[in-house]
Amino acid sequence: MAIIDADGVRLHVQRLGPRDGRPATATAVLLHGLLTDSLASYYFTVAPAFAAAGLDVVMYDQRGHGRSERPAGGYSLDAFIGDLDALLDRLEIPGAVHLVGNSFGGTVSFGYAIRRPDRVASISVVESEPATAFWADKLAGLLGRVRHEMTANETGALDWIATHRGGHTARLAKAAGRLVRETTIAEDLTACEVLSEDTIRSLRCPVLAVYGGDSDLAEQAPLLRALLPRCRTVLLPGHEHSVLVEAPDQVRDLVLDWIRRNRHAGPLTAASVEVNIP
């Protein structure tokens, strides 16, 4: 474990590498989701397998989450993107990295690859989308519900979660409510500048997008294929938003294959393709 000052915000970072002393073949940076998530969702699913496959694996708690610092303000999407840029500088990681983003972590990954295309070899996102106007509207609704339902448990939401999802999930939900209530994260994120289709089209690195077949985000698959010429989308039937936790082996295999295929990403030649996995 390490705490690294990334341009004024202290971030909790974990790093795994090949255990046999081999040099890493590439660097994968794993970005988690919003509010209830942390680097633990990777640490206990795919990260060890990525390291065993020869990757240098970097995971960190995003600002306000996990063991990272929780400032009162400064939660714009640009701030999250800036944290990633500063972290790569502080870790002195050479060359382009492979970004793996779950949910909001994928949104940060899209934004970073557009801002710093020279530092990104590929993107793999799980249940995620770029920061479009549609994304901003959904996020505003989600943050509003969290603020209302988790503030004082007046609706009994936390009791329901504890009964039906367990104490650990209830504690995460309570922490999410505290983050929304005690910081400007809701105001900052919902006020961020969204991406136009032309800006998304400017993204040229290879993109793998994995969705639960029963998730409402699965409708992002055709949009991404239409906008991004180097995009592969995969739908995993029987899953909704918690694909990373529910189907870690499938996510692991898909992402490792994508990184291997794009370890030395070349000219723009790959065609967009959709895959449905039984």
97-102 and 26-31 strand pairing: parallel
In the DSSP assignment, the letter for residue 166 is: -
pTM, full prediction: 0.90
Q: Which residues of the chain have pLDDT under 70?
A: 149-173, 265-278
φ, ψ for residue 200, nearest 5 deg? -65, -40
User: Which residue in the block uniquely carries the two structure tokens 């690859």?
Assistant: 113
- Cα 34 to Cα 16, 73, 229, 272, 274: the distances in Å are 23, 16, 28, 28, 27
pLDDT tens for 179-216 read 998 999 999 999 999 999 999 999 999 999 999 999 99
Q: What 3-state DSSP class applies to 120? A: strand
55-60 and 120-126 strand pairing: unpaired
Handedness of CA 85, 1, 264, 106 (dihedral sign): negative
Tokens encoding 277: 């996995």
8 in Cβ contact with 145 (< 8 Å)? no
Instruction: In whole angstroms, give the CA distance from residue 255 to residue 277.
Output: 14
Domains delineated in the chain: 2-130+195-276 (3.40.50.1820), 133-194 (no CATH)
| pLDDT recorded at residue 161 | 47
| pLDDT recorded at residue 173 | 65
| pLDDT recorded at residue 76 | 97
Instruction: In whole angstroms, give the CA distance from residue 200 to residue 132.
Output: 9
| pLDDT recorded at residue 270 | 39
97-102 and 273-276 strand pairing: unpaired
Q: What 3-state DSSP class applies to 63? A: coil
| pLDDT recorded at residue 94 | 86
Tokens encoding 196: 């136009």
pLDDT tens for 122-156 read 999 999 999 999 999 999 998 888 877 665 554 56
| pLDDT recorded at residue 146 | 82
Instruction: In whole angstroms, give the CA distance from residue 58 to residue 172.
Output: 23
Q: Helix, strand, coil shares of the chain as percentages rounded to 5?
A: 45, 20, 35
Nearest to 271 by CA among 233, 234, 230: 230
